[in-house]
Structure 1
Amino acid sequence: MMAFENTTKRSSQDVMNSVDSKKRKVEFAKDVTLYPISNNDGEENTVKSTEEINGFSSAIYARFVKSALDDLDKNDTTQINVIADQLSLGEKSSDKIKPENLNILLDTLSSNINRIDSSKGTVLIQSLISLNKWWQLPSFTLSKYIYFIRVLCSSIPKWWQDVSMNLISNFPSLSLDDAHYHHDLLHYFLRMIPSSMNFIDSYLVKFFPNKNDTRKSLVNYIGNILHLTKYCKELRFQVWSLIVEKIISIDVELQNELDEMDDDIESDFEDEEDEDDDEDEERKDKDASLMDEDDDGEEEEEEMEGVEEYNVEVTQNIKELANKLDAILTLVSNNISTEVTPESIENGDGVSIFNTLTTLFKTHILPTYYTRSIQYVMFHLSQQQLELMDSFLVTLIDISFAPNETAEKKIKSLQYLGSYIARAKKLSRTQIIFVASYLTSWLNRYAIEREEEVDQPGGMERFKHFYAAFQALCYIFCFRRNLFKDLDGNWECELDKFFQRMIISKFNPLKYCNENVMLMFARITQHEDIAYCFSIIENNNNERLRGIVGKADSGQKNGANNVAASTSVWSLATRQQFIDLQSYFPFDPLFLKTYKEMMKDYYIEWSEASGELESDHESDE
């Protein structure tokens, strides 16, 4: 048991001496017995009501608490239970315990903690632990309450489990400022009882608000548990895991909702997200108009109105999800900006946060298909320092070309690599050229080693890793072409010769890479006088129109020797999966209003890179 000094503690005699001297003085013997009060029928009434107890003077209340403890020593819990009931009363109850009486109770219990250490005292302890809004008590009483909790959990450590659970359960309803005393207690006891991290970890999971909970609850909770990692770094990975999982859940649901929307509704929604705040009322009117003339009651419009009402409901749900995601991601990245600084990177703490999120990127974010926003956490974090960008690029390159990774994961990583290089504003020219050099070297080796396989039986899906790498390089070139010329006007990595060679290779990448990217690539290479792709693209389109796949199937069945034609055969499922993967650009423009504004200094819009070639909206579709 640890000893604590309570400088505010007063004896019962001191309290008595403070009674107004003008009032009639009542002297008590040293041993006072509170006898039962008889009612009018002569029957003993051994239980005082909370109203009676609340009306006691401080001196009498102190005697009452002492009497309750004496009775508890004799296994009589009657008076203890009355106190416990009073503590459990609601905020608005007139019988709620007065602060001055609560002061006496806390002082007395802090000095007699072992006397309530029994099953008989449990109800009183639990009432104090769960005291309604204890953090709003008057400061003098609050200090006594916190002192009592410290004495209780230090003397009887088993109660820390209940106390910590109660503290964390309050996080959804409290802002970080309001939860100041919660964190003080958590900080104190996590240092004193390090083993308690095990059950606190489970409470963090248990009380994490559902994704359908309010935005305020989610933001409060995430803000509080992020603050917890400042004084308990041992729980950092668990906390970030929970946050990333929750964000992914909302992000995926939001993306699914958007995918299911009619194109015109989605367009209206994204347009609204880009409007200024002073147009809020106009947006509301626009939403209301979707209701059509619902109040007219015309029967012939009933079916159509039902559909429109559904669209309004879906749009509202999407807005709620988007607002939650926007607020959470803004909070998370603001936290990162505060925690990951040059100083914290120097002392290693910032690197620890980066490594934690890099691990979660590899295990949670990268394998999840078509998240739209969560990846911007790493996008933002990595750009806090040149060395962090180096590390993130190496991570993506390692995954993209790891022999033991699945083809789908390699392709996904290449999509991240290309999109990151294209969009990350803080990248240096050296970093960009390094990645381009790595990709051109790998593609050259691949072509030398495997181009002859194109003429052999088998579908072109065999080379999807090649196409993903080529597409990533083309995407980078479209955004960063101005950086690839040296001072003499020569192309770095000999990109002019490289592209000329690749587009006429048997792999025919202009046919199997994303159509929008290849069209933009064709326009830019023609503008830069590097290569002429449109004739090849036109020929590829004509082949599709002629049904080359059907002819190839027929040729194979008839035993024809047209092996080259057979290479164009793709199974429908495989081709669709590849097209889906190739059409994913992780760092396409954000539509979350606040978060997008926050990323402004880190993000390259297509309008900044394209010049007069094409608008960002048209390119990124």
Structure 2
Amino acid sequence: MVSLVPIARPAAPRAAPKPSKPLLRRATLSGTIRKTEEAELDSDFLSAPPSPSKRARVSFNPNVEEKIMEEYQAKGRSLESIRLEVKSSIEAHLKGDSEGYDAIKEVFSPRRADDEDDESKGDGKVEMQTYLLALTSYASLLNKGCSGLVKAVLACDWMGRDESFVKAYVHFLGSLTSAQGAYVGMVLGMLVGNFYGVRLSSGRLPGCPDINRDQLSSRIHVALKYLLRLIPSASSTLSPILAAKFPYAEEPKKLQITYIENLIRLSEYAPELKSDILAVITDRLVKIDVQMQIDLDDLDDEVAAAIVQAISLNPSREKDEGDDSDTDADSVTSDDDVDSDSKRIKEVQGNVEKMDAIIDRLFTIYSPYFEDPFSVEAASMFETLLGHFTNIILPTYRSRHTQFLLFHFAQTAEHLVDRFAGTCVQLAFQSGRPAVLKQSAAAYLASFVARGAHVPSHVVCQVFSLIGNNLDHIRAENEVTCRGPDLKRYSTFYAMTQALLYIFCFRWRDLISSSDISEEDDPAAFVGQDLTWTPGIKETLSRTIYSKLNPLKICSPPIVAEFAKIARHLRFMYVYPLLESNKRIRLSQFSSSQGNGALRDTGNGGNSESWHQLDAYFPFDPYQLPLSRHWVEKDYVQWKGVPGLNQEESDEDESGEEEEEEDEVDLDDETDNDE
């Protein structure tokens, strides 16, 4: 039997990591440099600035070719001369004389048109690099009083210059942040600001070789990797920056995806940030998910379905973004060319595409960890997903698709099925939690058990039994003082009962204890048969349904109607007399409060009773996003009609018998629309 109570599993001992090659090397000889192969810029080529408290130890290696560093000159002036100028200008600025200081700032200002000749000859580039080297030497002087100069250096065009300049620039960033911790956030913010995407023009500077977008992006990550290795504490500063700079939900899809791709690339060389990065992506995804669902709900069903179908027919509408393009924004049709309705539909379609692309990317990111669902990596990543579920997804009522990350990966192995179901049980039953969160956890539990194709039968029975036992406790504690159905007072009881009704409708076959009847051989084999149910199932539901708390009056009418119909057909239970008597009950006379904050059905504004009833909220309703739905198609239990039930209803109609139920519902009608 699988235990549904979450049990902390001890982590497998990890092998001791092998010593890695030092990323940051000190120079082996003052005034010399190592000869390196011409290669793409990488952090291995960057040596750490010398520690202010230690002198570099001199060593000679006969296998290393050494050569004297070429002397930098800017407009006939030596590096040493410019160092003296920089030092004296900074010191004078701090005393109130900023003439020389402002001249240095001007060196890093964007090039003017009349400066392009100097730039193309290399004079401007050499001058900027020489001043950069000089500033690196005196980074300890660049306190808060020099923030203007620091901002000018951070704003300069550096990514598209030659490799030697980029190395010098990254060295400057390292020296600055090491000597002046107050600038760490500013420097990291500048680098992360390029996660939205770099313009091609940044790699086409006068006098410099052309650099493509991939190379420009790589240089951003080389600089970040270098700083994080140099200053390990910078990770704690970087994490809130990543969240703060995350694109707003209304930003274009391409910008969102580009930012996420850069975050994932960052997590590869900064594993200490991986959990925070995945959490912030999930948090933003939920916000987009909620907004998308609100937009779809505001449209007519036919229009919403047409939008999804249009995306299905053209799953990839990405324009060809070659290196000739210098913009990251999609073209937007003029307001004059399109009426407001068409514009609204276009916006909704863009949001659906955005959501679809982001969650598809997340499925792709998580998938390698679950290739072996019994591995330590899978266990660790699943715990991360559970944390996101508990803290981000569960409290968000209108989340529609983000939770399918859990739905899919929880079904990769039975112990993960048990882990997710156990977490939902714990959240639903735990005392002290807000009632609305307990109701939501019950909905997730019911929806997962009902819809999960890889949830085994014995887990279905265990969950049914666990919920039933809990209902018995709640009923015993409250039935004596109960005046009647009241969603405010007994919200957890009603949410749990609705969970059982929903599970029964989908998984009643798994609740049959033993039977020689084969539905595969004869689809109508269950008709007219007295079935043997799992012990306690019928008794528990009977005590619950016929208690003074009267859950069938509070639970969502479509769920109640479907349960009543199936239960009668299977000779499990006959509740129609109770439904008839419930029609004469007005919930408002028992309600403790109008604003109960429960998950309730508010769809019918003209029916006050709906305010006192639960919403038919089950988070794993049919998946709608066309691009990413392939991830969950094999995990999903589609609604199956009960054999012989439709024929029974037809016979009743032909004989003129009165229809006994008030509502009929197909619990999977959304799937029918999507197929």
Same fold (TM over 0.5): yes
Change (3 A) 1:185 1:151: same
Aligned to 2:116: 94
Aligned to 1:601: 634
Given that 2:312 and 2:627 are in contact with CA atoms closer than 8 Å, whether structure 1 keeps it comes out as no
Number of residue pairs matched by the alignment: 527
Aligned to 1:549: 586
Change (3 A) 1:387 1:187: farther
Aligned to 1:304: none
Q: Of residues 618, 624, 637 in structure 2, which corresponds to 1:591? A: 624
Aligned to 1:422: 450
Given that 1:116 and 1:122 are in contact with CA atoms closer than 8 Å, whether structure 2 keeps it comes out as no
Which residues of 2 match residues 261-410 of structure 1 at below 5 A?
A: 261-275=299-313, 277=315, 309-339=339-369, 342=372, 346-347=375-376, 350-410=378-438
Change (3 A) 1:220 1:60: closer
1:208 Cα deviation after fit: 1.9
Q: Of residues 124, 148, 163 in structure 1, which corresponds to 2:187? A: 163
Aligned to 1:528: 570
Q: Deviations over 1:544-585 (max 9, x none)?
A: 3xx5439xx9xxxxxxxxxxxx76x67665598643543211
Change (3 A) 1:141 1:71: closer
Aligned to 2:601: 579
Given that 1:443 and 1:469 are in contact with CA atoms closer than 8 Å, whether structure 2 keeps it comes out as yes
Q: Of residues 217, 225, 232 in structure 2, which corresponds to 1:187? A: 225
- Structure 1 length-normalised TM: 0.70
Letter in 2 for 1:317: E
Q: C-alpha separation between the residues in 1 aligned to 2:73 and 2:494?
A: 86
Given that 2:73 and 2:126 are in contact with CA atoms closer than 8 Å, whether structure 1 keeps it comes out as no
1:452 Cα deviation after fit: 4.8
Aligned to 1:513: 555
Q: Which moved more, 1:428-437 or 1:82-91?
A: 82-91
Given that 2:311 and 2:353 are in contact with CA atoms closer than 8 Å, whether structure 1 keeps it comes out as no
Letter in 2 for 1:403: S
1:255 aligns with 2:293: yes
Q: Which moved more, 1:597-606 or 1:138-147?
A: 138-147
DSSP-derived class of the 2:246 partner: coil
Given that 1:58 and 1:100 are in contact with CA atoms closer than 8 Å, whether structure 2 keeps it comes out as no
1:504 Cα deviation after fit: 4.6
Given that 2:454 and 2:635 are in contact with CA atoms closer than 8 Å, whether structure 1 keeps it comes out as yes
Between structures 1 and 2, the one with greater helix share = 1
Q: C-alpha separation between the residues in 2 aligned to 1:182 and 1:60?
A: 27
Given that 1:588 and 1:620 are in contact with CA atoms closer than 8 Å, whether structure 2 keeps it comes out as no
Aligned to 1:71: 85
Q: Deviations over 1:230-287 (max 9, x none)?
A: 433443454344333322332232333333334554344345455455999xxxxxxx
1:131 aligns with 2:159: no
1:618 Cα deviation after fit: 6.0
Aligned to 2:502: 475
Which residues of 2 match residues 132-147 of structure 1 at below 5 A?
A: 132=157, 134-139=158-163, 142-143=166-167, 145-147=169-171
DSSP-derived class of the 1:583 partner: coil
Given that 1:172 and 1:220 are in contact with CA atoms closer than 8 Å, whether structure 2 keeps it comes out as yes
Q: C-alpha separation between the residues in 2 aligned to 1:166 and 1:434?
A: 54
Structure 2 alignment gaps of length 5 or more: 1-23, 34-70, 93-97, 199-212, 319-335, 517-531, 603-613, 647-665
Change (3 A) 1:574 1:195: closer
Aligned to 1:246: 284
Q: Deviations over 1:491-537 (max 9, x none)?
A: 33443454455545554443332222222223333343323344544
Which residues of 2 match residues 16-27 of structure 1 at below 5 A?
A: none
Change (3 A) 1:60 1:620: closer
Aligned to 1:23: none
Q: C-alpha separation between the residues in 2 aligned to 1:177 and 1:330?
A: 26
1:170 Cα deviation after fit: 0.9
1:395 Cα deviation after fit: 1.8
Q: Which moved more, 1:580-589 or 1:2-11?
A: 2-11
Q: C-alpha separation between the residues in 1 aligned to 2:289 and 2:214?
A: 24
Q: C-alpha separation between the residues in 2 aligned to 1:149 and 1:333?
A: 36
Letter in 2 for 1:549: R
DSSP-derived class of the 2:574 partner: coil
Given that 1:229 and 1:236 are in contact with CA atoms closer than 8 Å, whether structure 2 keeps it comes out as yes
1:114 aligns with 2:137: yes
Aligned to 1:232: 270
Q: C-alpha separation between the residues in 2 aligned to 1:152 and 1:126?
A: 12
Change (3 A) 1:263 1:68: same
Letter in 2 for 1:606: W
Letter in 2 for 1:232: A
1:194 Cα deviation after fit: 2.1
Change (3 A) 1:460 1:260: closer
Structure 1 alignment gaps of length 5 or more: 12-56, 281-293, 296-307, 554-565
Letter in 2 for 1:375: Q
Identity %: 24
Aligned to 2:439: 411
Which residues of 2 match residues 454-493 of structure 1 at below 5 A?
A: 454=482, 456=483, 459=486, 462-488=489-515, 490-493=532-535
Given that 1:274 and 1:591 are in contact with CA atoms closer than 8 Å, whether structure 2 keeps it comes out as no
Q: C-alpha separation between the residues in 1 aligned to 2:553 and 2:576?
A: 11
Change (3 A) 1:218 1:10: same
Cα-Cα RMSD? 4.4
Given that 2:386 and 2:406 are in contact with CA atoms closer than 8 Å, whether structure 1 keeps it comes out as yes
Q: Which moved more, 1:474-483 or 1:596-605?
A: 596-605
Change (3 A) 1:131 1:473: same
Aligned to 1:32: none
Q: C-alpha separation between the residues in 1 aligned to 2:180 and 2:596?
A: 63
Q: C-alpha separation between the residues in 2 aligned to 1:160 and 1:6?
A: 28
DSSP-derived class of the 1:179 partner: helix
Q: Of residues 602, 617, 621 in structure 1, which corresponds to 2:669? A: 617
Aligned to 2:62: none
Change (3 A) 1:535 1:334: same
Given that 1:211 and 1:250 are in contact with CA atoms closer than 8 Å, whether structure 2 keeps it comes out as yes
Q: C-alpha separation between the residues in 2 aligned to 1:585 and 1:169?
A: 39
1:397 Cα deviation after fit: 0.9
Q: C-alpha separation between the residues in 2 aligned to 1:10 and 1:611?
A: 88
1:418 Cα deviation after fit: 0.6
Q: Deviations over 1:294-333 (max 9, x none)?
A: 99xxxxxxxxxxxx94332332222222222222222223
- Structure 2 length-normalised TM: 0.65
Aligned to 2:27: 5
Letter in 1 for 2:554: Y
1:336 Cα deviation after fit: 1.8
Q: C-alpha separation between the residues in 2 aligned to 1:210 and 1:506?
A: 49
Given that 1:248 and 1:365 are in contact with CA atoms closer than 8 Å, whether structure 2 keeps it comes out as yes
Aligned to 1:207: 245
Letter in 2 for 1:196: A
Given that 1:468 and 1:582 are in contact with CA atoms closer than 8 Å, whether structure 2 keeps it comes out as no
Q: C-alpha separation between the residues in 2 aligned to 1:587 and 1:195?
A: 41
Q: C-alpha separation between the residues in 2 aligned to 1:371 and 1:209?
A: 19
Change (3 A) 1:270 1:506: farther
Q: C-alpha separation between the residues in 2 aligned to 1:473 and 1:493?
A: 15
Change (3 A) 1:157 1:370: closer
